[in-house]
Amino acid sequence: GAVVSQHPSRVICKSGTSVKIECRSLDFQATTMFWYRQFPKQSLMLMATSNEGSKATYEQGVEKDKFLINHASLTLSTLTVTSAHPEDSSFYICSAKGQGWGETQYFGPGTRLLVL
> CB-hemisphere CA count at 13 Å for 62?
19
Closer by beta carbon to other proteins, 75 or else 111: 111
> Binder to other proteins among 14, 43, 61, 87 (CB under 8 A)?
43
Contact 96, 3 (CB under 8 A): no
> Binder to other proteins among 13, 44, 62, 68 (CB under 8 A)?
44
Q: Does 108 bind other proteins (CB under 8 A)?
A: yes
Instruction: Report the nearest approach of other proteins to the CB of residue 100 (Å).
Output: 14
Tally: H helices and E strands in the chain = 0, 11
Q: Does 110 bind other proteins (CB under 8 A)?
A: yes
- Cα separation, 28 vs 51, whole angstroms: 14
